[in-house]
Amino acid sequence: MTLRIYNTLSNSIEEFHPIQEGKVKMFVCGPTVYDDPHLGHARTYSFFDVLVRFLKFSGYEVFYVMNVTDVGHLTEEGEDKIIKRAGSLGKHPMEIADYYLWRFLEAMDKLRIARPSMMPRATGHIPEIIEQVSTLINKGYAYISNGSVYFDVSKFKDYGKLSHKKIEELLPGARVEINPEKKDPRDFALWIKAEKSHIMKWNSPWSVGYPGWHIEDTAIALKYLGSQYDIHGGGIDLVFPHHEAEIAQAEATTGIKPYVKYWIHTGFLTIRGEKMAKSLGNFIVIFDLLEKYRAEAIRLYLSSTHFRKPLDFDEKELDRAENRINDLVNNILAIDDAIKDGGGNSSDISFVYDLKNKFVDAMEDNMNTPLALQVFFKLLENLASKSSGITLNKLIEAKQETTKLSDIFQIVPKESTIVLSEEILSILIEIRNKLRAMGNYQLADEIREKLKNVGIALEDTKSGTKWKIVRG
Ligand code: AMP
């Protein structure tokens, strides 16, 4: 079988065939870097990480580009989000963008979301943006108005083909300001003339200004992925106007259709039914959640709902994911014990391959990750219960097969977290306290230092010794 996946462009599930055999070129809209990433971001980037890992598992080479929006993403009031944040903190916008890009990477690393092949920044591609805007003006798709440049939506007949709306229905979204400079309210900005006080601005043939929100993606993608590529991803909120505008910009520039073969969008991570968003102030910062839950439990929680469905935040489900990770660890420990003991006599591991096939079938069926995970847990459980009876060679082979599957989801804790449990920690704390009571401070300190080296900080308070995780 081959992967079948829902394509927003055709509004249907399609067989996946990349333009170039064996190679997948993919672009996913990156973060706007002005605040710490939240669980909504984790949902989207975790899904695309699973997709990339599954494509690689299936034998594809993947070239994955993620842009970084460090200029031009406007608030509903028409202010640049990064500049607004920088102003409120009294810092330069570039300092804000750098700081929050590093925080984004740190959060993704902690969640074991692999870094893309490259992460080009909008501000590093102003010449490419200016060149694309010039081409659009020369080809008659864009017009200059008072130093700003707008895309003339009426010139691009396919406008609306991604969001499946008629052109009359495509009134500007909340993010697009009503502006007398535009011929039509549906037109969107490619280049914006800057006010005198504006900090992030560049020279251009039209004005000293800055790029519109949509143009950075196509300028970057055309440079690194070419005029046609396989997958473009992002959250469902980006379908309109962002991705619709991208198609218009790219296809009008190159004349080549379709700009992207498969448009893949993730459903919202919601909280009490409402989208989790920085602008709504209802967000859960990834770093805060990692204080309470292991990265592997968060990844399991996120992958346990189909990527297109909304996922409403539920701590009970995260607790459940923690328990499932414990079961998983216990099964792995049982398999490892059987390996240490030399295994048994049976060389029949056909059940491993049967379940692996079922796993792959589920993944190929529009990335049905909840079903694939169920199959994976069943496989691991079966293997653990039969492990002492299986020959050593076959046991090692079976374990390698299960690892290939779990790697797609990044749900097996690293060695140090496998052995660490609260119970073990409380035993160590108790022994350390006894040593201190006996006056053996040297050994007590040694325990504290060694725990610190594996990421656990102890703090002696009036109400007893408390611990916290200081690194993942
Ligand atoms: P932003 O930082 O707002 O530009 O968003 C970066 C990416 O995260 C985009 O693909 C968004 O669609 C996605 N995203 C933001 N909030 C959520 C959410 N609550 N649920 C799912 N994806 C989200």
CA of 281 to the centre of ligand 1 (A): 14
User: Residue 170 region, left (φ>0) first, then alpha (ψ -120 to 50), else beta?
Assistant: beta
Give the residue, by CA position, lying nearest to ligand 1 atom 16.
Answer: 40
Confidence of residue 285 (pLDDT cuts 50, 70, 90): very high
pLDDT score of 209: 95
pLDDT score of 86: 83
pLDDT score of 178: 67
CA of 235 to the centre of ligand 1 (A): 5
**Tokens 């049967």 label which residue?**
354
34 lines ligand 1 (CB under 6 A): no
Closest atom of ligand 1 to 38 CA is: 16
Confidence of residue 459 (pLDDT cuts 50, 70, 90): confident
269 lines ligand 1 (CB under 6 A): yes
275 lines ligand 1 (CB under 6 A): yes
Whether pLDDT at 455 is above 80: no
d(CA 356, CA 350): 10
44 lines ligand 1 (CB under 6 A): yes
383 lines ligand 1 (CB under 6 A): no
Average pLDDT over residues 365-382: 98
pLDDT score of 73: 73
31 lines ligand 1 (CB under 6 A): yes
Instruction: Render pLDDT for 393-407 as a digit per residue (tens, 0 to 9).
Output: 999 999 999 999 999
pLDDT score of 318: 97
Contact 191, 209 (CB under 8 A): yes
32 lines ligand 1 (CB under 6 A): yes
209 lines ligand 1 (CB under 6 A): no
234 lines ligand 1 (CB under 6 A): yes
pLDDT score of 170: 67
Instruction: Render pLDDT for 125-165 as a digit per residue (tens, 0 to 9).
Output: 999 999 999 999 999 999 999 999 999 999 999 999 999 98
Lowest mean pLDDT among 319-323, 343-347, 462-466: 462-466
29 lines ligand 1 (CB under 6 A): yes
Query: pLDDT higher for 317 or 415?
Result: 317
Closest atom of ligand 1 to 268 CA is: 20
CA distances (Å), origin 60, targets 204, 228, 365, 381: 41, 18, 17, 29
Instruction: Render pLDDT for 407-446 as a digit per residue (tens, 0 to 9).
Output: 999 999 986 555 556 678 888 999 999 999 999 999 999 9
CA of 172 to the centre of ligand 1 (A): 20
Whether pLDDT at 454 is above 60: yes
Instruction: Render pLDDT for 87-100 as a digit per residue (tens, 0 to 9).
Output: 888 889 999 999 99
308 lines ligand 1 (CB under 6 A): no
Instruction: Render pLDDT for 48-91 as a digit per residue (tens, 0 to 9).
Output: 999 999 999 999 999 999 999 988 677 656 678 888 888 888 88
Query: pLDDT higher for 315 or 280?
Result: 315
CA of 38 to the centre of ligand 1 (A): 9
d(CA 215, CA 127): 12
Domains located in the chain, CATH noted: 4-139+161-172+213-291 (3.40.50.620), 311-409 (1.20.120), 415-469 (no CATH)
Q: Ligand 1 test: best mutation among 44, 66, 232, most atoms within 8 Å of CB?
A: 44
CA of 152 to the centre of ligand 1 (A): 27
**Tokens 């990477």 label which residue?**
105
Give the residue, by CA position, lying nearest to ligand 1 atom 17.
Answer: 40
Contact 395, 343 (CB under 8 A): yes
Confidence of residue 259 (pLDDT cuts 50, 70, 90): very high
CA of 278 to the centre of ligand 1 (A): 9
CA of 436 to the centre of ligand 1 (A): 50
CA of 31 to the centre of ligand 1 (A): 7
53 lines ligand 1 (CB under 6 A): no
Whether pLDDT at 172 is above 80: no
